[in-house]
Amino acid sequence: MTPRFAPGVRLQHDQARQRWIVMAPERMFIPDEIALEVLRLIDGERDEIAIVATLAEKFAAPAPVIAADVRTMLDDLINRGAIVK
């Protein structure tokens, strides 16, 4: 799966809150630091495997553990309508 932000959804830095947020029509999500690492890699070109590999290398962590966490997060964002496959 190659995740991308749904139409009208974007990751942006909110100057007022001094935080990164996911802006969606009529709602907003404030990701934690771990989620932000994943969200920064969602570009519509990298597939889920590439995202997991990048994170595994960056954090020197086992890919299967990261893959499970990334899958759970993406499923949640898909259910919320923020990410599409």
CATH number for position 16: 1.10.10.1150
3-class secondary structure per residue, 31-66: CCHHHHHHHCCCCCCCCHHHHHHHHHHHHCCCHHHH
pTM value is: 0.90
Range of the domain at 39: 4-84
Percentage of the chain surpassing pLDDT 70?
100
Instruction: In whole angstroms, give the CA distance from residue 49 to residue 26.
Output: 31
Confidence (pLDDT) at 49: 97
- Tell me the average pLDDT across 40-64: 96
Number of domains, the chain: 1
